[in-house]
Chains A and B, each alone.
Chain A
């Protein structure tokens, strides 16, 4: 019985060994191996997917953490720290747009414009319509004196996408562009930009006054006066706008209007010495102009006599040589004779009585006065006081 059991168990072992051998053989067949390999690969992919998610999440968290610190430092104008923190953030998300943009801003803060420019150009390649990037690039180009590039980027910024406060950002970009154009003396371009800007500003008195100032700097006095008037429509006591309007009207030769604005400006701000000075000149111009309306003939003749005497005095202080006499800017080539030679014979005739007898004499005297003031201003520089007033009157009546 025992022997039988041993035989049975022996045969069982052999069968099991055989089965195991067959099983191993089966496993070693290529299709089975390939199936097992596929299963293993799938498991590996799943494992790496899990790992990848954990990795990405960690990197994102680290990137955000450093970015938040960078933004805080950037806002507090601690640019050095901000640069380091944004760089750290970029270690975790190399291509993040915001990280790069903020790093560029921080780099501008530490005056590393070369590096900032490299980042910004990279961002520009990705999003050429981004307003902030264009604005920063424009600022860098303006700093480097590359005006053409700066203007191009400013224009891009003006027409770029600017979420969330689109209009304000565009306006600010255009304002910066205008400042650049004024700095580079491109007044015509600046005027065009200012006209577009004035349309966008609306009725905001402060903005209109600011635009008026810029128009003045661009030598576009008509638009400047219009802007100041618009500003004053909503705030009649804005002394800066009043002074600006007075100045613009003065430049336009609208002296009574200028006088009126400057007087109002001084009443609003009596300490405004510039306005006071300008008012004095304006009042002189108004008072000394013999061609103005609503004055009597006697008054006109008296003004002519005074003007003639003033011009004579100016001529004695600033003798004009013959060559200068001929070459003086704007002077009509009427006579080769010296101005003194013309003034001296006319002097005895220019009296109130003679002027009453010969109304054309007034015109002749004033022509000579204007020529004297113009030519002495070329030879001896801009006059002051009554001579300046006469020069301005000359410009008004004869054109510049």
Chain B
């Protein structure tokens, strides 16, 4: 029936129904879209952008706060008066001690381990007060000249803001656990002006594994925080990078020497922290009020004696070292004094980061080694800036034990891929030396000193993984074929004692059955039937030799035998695993 032939009222009614249906469909589609957007995984991505923006803003404010603290505490000039050099860090140390002991106890230290603790212990919970405390105490410490950097506090501030947002948004527990690293990446990226390094560091040192679920969020937050930071502070890198180059391949020997020197310096630095931090913590509680002040006073003395460069983060001096403005003797002295100053600040419990001092020491050592090599082999040696840059990566690899981040950090900061080979050579040497002489990485060391047992990322990275091939055994007895008759199969298994039998299905797949099942089916008069037609349709899952052994655990309780097949030919049997084999292998592994 066409529309024109209907009565008017009927037509109107039908039109009304159509409009209603269209409205309902629109409503449904908007609801679907709404649900799609606000589904937790997508909502998490949106939230990551907000975390990045807010962390970026917080880091910008943090940088302003540090600069203002420096201006008002140390003065506006390049040359500081002795009174300020001595008083500013020591008086600020007293104030910081009171704030840390009475108001913000969670702000002690660098902040990386606290973020890891939030991820692995506190389900992503970091109190907002920690961010406030970290902001105030670290700005005061760095601004007054304590030898610490702003990166690790920025990381913790970012993690804290993320945690607060996650709680307010009522994220699930799984998401809450992951949100702290997302904020940490944002904070670090903004502080470092290096999003790739920040993402890598968080994955390498905080999360410890690559998961697609979090990678997107970490990248989004890091990028948005860097955009915000550059909007306010400009896009210049922390140092002016002159032309860097590898003059000739033989110069790699010089970079290996730099790696050795850097590795040894890393060991000295981390051994100092390992030795003195527990000593300071073991002193009577009242002394904690004075420890940062005494550390500040001693740093002031070092500055007054001719090395004010050791105060604060010291980026401007890294810049000067890169531009060849110090002699190699002075550079080497600065590296040594910076280790002492940073040890003093850090072991006294003053809040602040170790990234900047690590970069400072590395740059000075690198430039010093470059300077010496300039004297010894002037025709071989590249620019001082190249050595300083590689030196930064060396200390990063040796002291912080983040080898991948160390390489990308240098590349990202320099914007030059031509030095990738020297960076890799030097960093690897430093990393190997540091690992050999100081088996426990600095972050794990600090965690253990604080009485926590957080997973060691280095151990995780290098842990032996058991694979299916480790538990795999050769097949006992014949492998039956789905195309053969039951009678033939019975004759084949006649000479074997194995109870469980594997059947190769056609065209692919595997199945199992027991000898008793074969006998029973033959008794039912099915002797002439093909084996394939008698077996259930559900096939046995199969594994490959390189699969982790954990994967076998999913199947071995339901299937007495699990075939292990070649990746090139799924019908080719490499072996079998059973629950007994798997458990035996784990027991042997556990016994070492």
Whether A55 lies near B67 (C-beta < 8 A) is yes
Could you give, for residues 42-62 of chain B, a 1 whenever the CB lies within 8 Å of some chain A CB and a 0 otherwise?
Answer: 010010001001100100110
Tell me whether A192 is interfacial, beta carbon within 8 Å. no
Given contacts A85-B77, A88-B77, 12 further A-B contacts (CB under 8 A): A31-B38, A34-B169, A37-B165, A41-B54, A41-B57, A44-B54, A51-B64, A84-B78, A91-B78, A94-B240, A95-B236, A118-B324
Whether A41 lies near B53 (C-beta < 8 A) is yes
Whether A84 lies near B79 (C-beta < 8 A) is yes
Whether A88 lies near B78 (C-beta < 8 A) is yes
* 5 A-B pairs closest in CB distance: A87-B78, A88-B78, A118-B323, A88-B77, A115-B325
Tell me whether A66 is interfacial, beta carbon within 8 Å. yes
A359 CB to nearest B CB, Å? 71
A33/B168 contact (C-beta < 8 A), A45-B57, A114-B325 known = yes
A144 CB to nearest B CB, Å? 14
Chain A residues whose C-beta falls within 8 Å of the C-beta of B46 in the assembled complex? 34
B214 CB to nearest A CB, Å? 20
Tell me whether B436 is interfacial, beta carbon within 8 Å. no
How many A residues touch B, CB cutoff 8 Å?
33
Tell me whether B584 is interfacial, beta carbon within 8 Å. no
Tell me whether B439 is interfacial, beta carbon within 8 Å. no
B11 CB to nearest A CB, Å? 40
Could you give, for residues 290-326 of chain B, a 1 whenever the CB lies within 8 Å of some chain A CB and a 0 otherwise?
Answer: 0000000000000000000000000010010001110
Tell me whether A347 is interfacial, beta carbon within 8 Å. no
B584 CB to nearest A CB, Å? 50
B152 CB to nearest A CB, Å? 22
How many B residues touch A, CB cutoff 8 Å?
31
Provide the bound-state CA to CA distance between A79 and B67, in Å.
28
Provide the bound-state CA to CA distance between A115 and B240, in Å.
14
* B38 to chain A: closest residue by CB: A30
Q: Choose among A38, A44, A95 the residue that contacts B57 (Cβ–Cβ < 8 A).
A: A44
Tell me whether B170 is interfacial, beta carbon within 8 Å. yes
Task: Show the binding face of B for A, using Cβ within 8 Å.
Answer: 34, 38, 43, 46, 50, 53-54, 57, 60-61, 64, 67-68, 71, 76-79, 165, 168-170, 232, 236, 240, 242, 316, 319, 323-325
* A87 to chain B: closest residue by CB: B78
A263 CB to nearest B CB, Å? 59
Whether A114 lies near B54 (C-beta < 8 A) is no
B43 CB to nearest A CB, Å? 6
Chain B residues whose C-beta falls within 8 Å of the C-beta of A183 in the assembled complex? none
Q: CB within 8 Å of B: which of A88-125?
A: 88, 90-91, 94-95, 114-115, 118-119, 121-122
Q: Choose among A41, A87, A115, A121 the residue that contacts B50 (Cβ–Cβ < 8 A).
A: A41
Whether A48 lies near B232 (C-beta < 8 A) is yes
Whether B61 lies near A30 (C-beta < 8 A) is no
Chain A residues whose C-beta falls within 8 Å of the C-beta of B77 in the assembled complex? 66, 84-85, 88
* A61 to chain B: closest residue by CB: B76
B48 CB to nearest A CB, Å? 12
Task: Identify 24 residue pairs between A and B in the complex whose beta-carbon atoms are under 8 Å apart, listed by A's number.
Answer: A30-B38, A30-B170, A31-B38, A33-B168, A34-B46, A37-B50, A37-B168, A41-B54, A41-B57, A45-B53, A45-B57, A51-B61, A55-B68, A88-B77, A88-B78, A90-B78, A91-B76, A91-B78, A94-B240, A94-B316, A114-B325, A115-B324, A118-B323, A121-B242
Provide the bound-state CA to CA distance between A122 and B323, in Å.
9
* B165 to chain A: closest residue by CB: A37
B259 CB to nearest A CB, Å? 26
Whether B240 lies near A52 (C-beta < 8 A) is no
Provide the bound-state CA to CA distance between A47 and B242, in Å.
36
Tell me whether A62 is interfacial, beta carbon within 8 Å. yes
Chain B residues whose C-beta falls within 8 Å of the C-beta of A37 in the assembled complex? 50, 165, 168
Chain B residues whose C-beta falls within 8 Å of the C-beta of A90 in the assembled complex? 78
Chain B residues whose C-beta falls within 8 Å of the C-beta of A44 in the assembled complex? 54, 57
Provide the bound-state CA to CA distance between A55 and B66, in Å.
12
Chain B residues whose C-beta falls within 8 Å of the C-beta of A115 in the assembled complex? 323-325
A91 CB to nearest B CB, Å? 6
* B34 to chain A: closest residue by CB: A31
Provide the bound-state CA to CA distance between A95 and B241, in Å.
12
B237 CB to nearest A CB, Å? 11
Chain B residues whose C-beta falls within 8 Å of the C-beta of A121 in the assembled complex? 242
Chain A residues whose C-beta falls within 8 Å of the C-beta of B319 in the assembled complex? 94
Chain B residues whose C-beta falls within 8 Å of the C-beta of A45 in the assembled complex? 53, 57
* B46 to chain A: closest residue by CB: A34
B425 CB to nearest A CB, Å? 27
A48/B61 contact (C-beta < 8 A), A41-B53, A114-B324, A118-B325 known = yes
* B323 to chain A: closest residue by CB: A118
Interface centre among B38, B77, B169, B319 (most CB of A within 10 A): B77
Tell me whether A28 is interfacial, beta carbon within 8 Å. yes
B560 CB to nearest A CB, Å? 49
Provide the bound-state CA to CA distance between A90 and B67, in Å.
14
Whether B325 lies near A52 (C-beta < 8 A) is no
Whether B57 lies near A28 (C-beta < 8 A) is no
Whether B324 lies near A28 (C-beta < 8 A) is no
* A69 to chain B: closest residue by CB: B77
Chain A residues whose C-beta falls within 8 Å of the C-beta of B236 in the assembled complex? 94-95
Provide the bound-state CA to CA distance between A79 and B242, in Å.
26
